[in-house]
Structure 1
Amino acid sequence: MMKSLKLNNAQMNRFIGKTSHLHHQSPHQYEKIRINDDGIIFILYNSGSLVYEDNTQTRNFINGNLKDVFKYSQSKGQSNNRSHDKKSNDHKYQKRYHHKKRYPKKSKKQDDENTEESLNNSNILISKYDYTIGSDETGKGEWFGPLVVCAVATSNSENIKLKDAGVKDSKKLNKKQIMEVYENIMEMNIKHEVIALRPFSYNKLYNKFRDEGKNLNHMLAYLHSKVINMLLDEIDSEDTLIIIDKFDAKKMNEYLNTQSNMIQIENGERFIPVATSSIIAKYHYEKVLNELEERYNIRLNKKIKIRNIDKKILDKVAKTHFKNIAKHLY
């Protein structure tokens, strides 16, 4: 069933920015954008009318990416169902890792002291600025599931609150702790932007960059720059520090529209904004992974044998440029 609503100019621009990574079709007359991306369907008209398919895939995308663009109105009954679905998805998220090895709640004393010292030193640097933007991604090294890129913008006072809320290097958190800290972050209304590229969208974008003679690092620089640029539009201050991790500065500068201070540093999760981005990204990775598993009735993990996956859905659940996938697909 198709639904529609009216967007103002600001909402239209935000919608265009947040959906540019999806697969676009040639728009018809009077249409500004036409999107059909593995069940995610939008048509934006020049008049500002947005028509969308009211299906699970589109609703999930709206709830995960477009809440700040427009309010997704539903009837009371649908709203209750949606609340039930969220609880169900959260339960699946917890259940997925119920039998996995648990990490200790605390690291060794020396590790804790080193982590604390590293965080304190990092906070001294970022305290000199009104805002700090940090970004991170997850899913880059996995052949299955999405690629999720997140950026957050925080003030000095928010960095202190985030640390108190449990934000730290996500590698020191187990899956259950990541979910709990994520909920704490959401309660604080921290400015953040997320791009969750499902495999279908990921493969389209990767092939586009490949055809232009570019590689995965160019694509990552583009995605990180995209979420950072969206945050810069929201911040009412030019006194902003941007922290990026491991990317070639030339690639980032190609896509970033800013004169803000930018530093590149390894182990970026020492900084609270980067650590926050990592936690949010990992939460969304598992959320999308659960959605893919439910939709295609498949269990996606490192133990699954690729030859047992139907080739018809392989580009919907896997990153096809990985050698083990390409070998099976072609």
Structure 2
Amino acid sequence: MLIGGVDEAGRGSIIGPMIVAGVSIDESKIPKLKEIGVRDSKQLTSQAREKLYDEIVRIVDYYHIHTVKPTEIDSHVLQKGLNRLEARVMAQIISKMMVDEVYVDCCDTNPERYKEHIIAHLKSTSHNLKIHSMHHADSINVVVSAASILAKIRRDLEIQKIKKRYHDIGSGYPSDERTMIFIRNWVQMKKTPPAFARRSWKPLRIILENMEQKMLL
């Protein structure tokens, strides 16, 4: 039996893409993931994640990583549809994995509703698939943990690309003052946010609104 796990990284970031990753693995090989130390990516150092990435890719039967760009995120946030966007991307990944059973990390307050959103985007050939929509699945289910590590590593690589060109952008999250200083300085100089920032996020909307008000004075 093939078991799948799907998770994301970077959902709450104000800079860079959201990464959604899925892995599928034969049920008999799941203990191998535990043996190499796979667990929720947030509980691991960056060095540990990097080491586990290659081992996970070697052990699993299939993996797929999808990048959701800031512009796509913005278009869905404006329609209050970020959860639906994430469900659609997860469904696309699940369709590729051809699993018998899959566990997904649920971003919705209602796991059953999120499961239905995923099912709505799945092909009819997946009607026998068993889906488990769970809060904190990345810390409960080791297959989802493996997916979380792949997503986090890819997300970190995307941030490193931006840092290489623009230097000190912080972590990319709105709670990071270095990140917000970088964005405020960018908007002040260029009168527009960077293309890799999510302008639908409230902190950036406020910065843009303040800039527009000053220009009207």
Q: Same fold (TM over 0.5)?
A: yes
Question: Which has more helix, going by share of residues?
Answer: 2
- The partner residue of 1:273 within 143, 162, 182 is 143
- The partner residue of 2:115 within 244, 249, 252 is 249
In structure 2, distance between residues paired with 1:291 and 1:320? 20
Q: Deviations 1:116-159 (Å, cap 9, x if unpaired)? A: xxxxxxxxxxxxxx011110001111212221100111112321
- The partner residue of 1:206 within 74, 82, 106 is 74
Unaligned regions of 5+ residues in structure 1, if any? 1-129
1:215 aligns with 2:85: no
In structure 1, distance between residues paired with 2:12 and 2:72? 18
Q: Who wins on radius of gyration, i.e. which is larger?
A: 1
Q: Which has the higher contact order (CA 8 A, sep 6+)?
A: 2
- Judge conservation of contact 2:3–2:102 (CA < 8 Å) in 1: yes
Distance 1:161 1:241, change over 3 A: same
Aligned alpha-carbon RMSD (Å): 2.1
Q: Report the TM-score, using the length of structure 1 for normalisation.
A: 0.53
- Judge conservation of contact 1:289–1:300 (CA < 8 Å) in 2: no
Q: Secondary structure at the match of 2:169?
A: coil
Q: Secondary structure at the match of 1:193?
A: strand
- Judge conservation of contact 1:138–1:281 (CA < 8 Å) in 2: yes
- Tell me by how many angstroms 1:288 deviates: 0.6
Letter in 1 for 2:87: A
Distance 1:296 1:171, change over 3 A: closer
Within-5 A mapping of 1:280-295: 280-295=150-165
Distance 1:298 1:150, change over 3 A: same
- The partner residue of 1:303 within 177, 192, 197 is 177
- Tell me by how many angstroms 1:228 deviates: 1.2
Letter in 1 for 2:147: S
The equivalent residue for 1:226 is 92
The equivalent residue for 1:131 is 2
Unaligned regions of 5+ residues in structure 2, if any? 109-113, 210-217
Identity percentage over the alignment? 23
Distance 1:313 1:153, change over 3 A: farther
Q: Secondary structure at the match of 1:168?
A: coil
- Equivalenced residue count is 190
Q: Report the TM-score, using the length of structure 2 for normalisation.
A: 0.78
Distance 1:203 1:315, change over 3 A: farther
Q: Secondary structure at the match of 2:39?
A: coil
